[in-house]
Amino acid sequence: MTILDIISVPDPVLRRKARKVTDFGKDFQLLVTNMIETMRDAPGVGLAAPQVAISERLVVIEYADDEDDDNDETLETPAAEKKLYVLVNPEIVEKSEEMVLGVEGCLSVPDLVGEVDRHEKITVKALNRHGHPIKIKADGWMARIFQHEMDHLDGILYTDRTDNVWKPRDDEEIPLD
Q: Please list the active-site residues.
A: 149
Q: Where are the alpha helices (DSSP H) in the chain?
A: 26-41, 140-152
Give 161's DSSP letter.
G
Alpha carbon dihedral 73, 78, 79, 85, in 10-degree steps, equals: 160
Burial of 144-154, coded b for 16+ CB within 10 Å and e otherwise, reads bbbbbbbbbbe
Residue 2 has what DSSP assignment? Answer: -
